[in-house]
Amino acid sequence: MKKWFLPAVVALLIALPVPPALAVKVPEKLVYSLSWVGIAVGTATQEITEDGAHRKILSHARSNDWLSAFYPVDDRTESLLAKTGGPFPGESRYYRMIFKEGRRTRDREISFDQAKRVGRFHDRIGGEQVDVPIVENTYDIYASFYYVRTQPLEPGKSIMIQVHYGKELRNNDVRVLKRERVKVPAGEFDTILVRPMVKPEGVFEGKGGALIWLTDDARRIPVKAQTKVRVGSVTAVLTGGTY
């Protein structure tokens, strides 16, 4: 019995389907068009790069000429992470957001001291500073999304992740809703729909959370996102990039 049992087990394991390793291609740049209730309102880019021991995530959303005529929007974020600390995309070290919306400007940053388990929030305009206790594998809001892309996603299940929002640390829930085929300017894709229960930042991020369609493959590329605003919703669809 011992002579055939082990070879049979090995053969069975080889025959089982093996899910692809989940990995985000770096560098990666994603380009989106933004619309509000079907009206084009702007564009957005999301990019991740590597430089030596660090990774950088850059996001930029801006209004088009039509919207800028009466409500200009120019929202930028930057995340810096150490590649060797924690799971992908790494260990958060610095985060900054500069949001210009209409006549309002916000300029805020978070410095992560992972050794002391502290994240320091700094309002660069108002001058306020707050030290927030953090735990291992705490991310800023944008870096957290790249972490989620590398996790197994099954409809009906959730992923929990620690996110530093500036003045507080939250254990956020990312809910996996269903599989769905969607068509966007970049093509037609089999996707997994997720709902991150995150605190919104910026006019295009909305007020009621977001729905995000990720490709149902190893890349987990966000091809579509939709978020509610005070009137209607803003939708982002992938139009191109390098991925």
Q: Residue 235 above 60 pLDDT?
A: yes
Q: Answer yes or no: is 204 within a domain.
A: yes
Q: Answer yes or no: is 16 within a domain.
A: no
DSSP string, 36-53: ETTEEEEEEEEEEEEETT
Band of the pLDDT at 17, cuts 50, 70, 90?
Answer: very low
Which CATH number does the domain housing residue 107 bear? 2.50.20
Q: Answer yes or no: is 17 within a domain.
A: no
Q: Answer yes or no: is 8 within a domain.
A: no
Q: Residue 29 above 80 pLDDT?
A: yes
Q: Residue 7 above 80 pLDDT?
A: no
Band of the pLDDT at 228, cuts 50, 70, 90?
Answer: confident
* pLDDT over 70, % of the chain: 86
In the chain, the number of structural domains is 1
Q: How far apart are CA 6 and CA 17, in angstroms?
A: 19
Residue 180 region by backbone torsions, left for phi larger than 0, else alpha for psi between -120 and 50, else beta: beta
Q: Answer yes or no: is 28 within a domain.
A: yes
**What pLDDT score does 200 carry?**
54
Distance set, CA 42 to CA 6, 74, 121, 206, 211 (Å)? 60, 10, 29, 14, 19
Residue span of the structural domain in which 161 resides: 23-242
Written as six digits, the tokens of 169 are 């640390």
Q: Answer yes or no: is 107 within a domain.
A: yes
**Is residue 98 within 8 Å of residue 106, measured between CB atoms?**
yes
CA-closest candidate to residue 166, choices 140, 147, 144, 143:
140
**What pLDDT score does 3 carry?**
42
How much is the mean pLDDT over the chain? Answer: 88
Distance set, CA 66 to CA 24, 157, 172 (Å)? 34, 41, 36
Written as six digits, the tokens of 146 are 């790249």
Q: 8-22, 60-74, 101-115, 199-213 — which is least confidently predicted?
A: 8-22
Q: Answer yes or no: is 12 within a domain.
A: no
Q: Answer yes or no: is 4 within a domain.
A: no
Sign of CA dihedral 100, 123, 53, 134: negative
Q: Residue 135 above 90 pLDDT?
A: yes
**Contacts (Cβ under 8 Å, ≥6 apart) of 139:** 92, 147, 161, 162, 163, 164
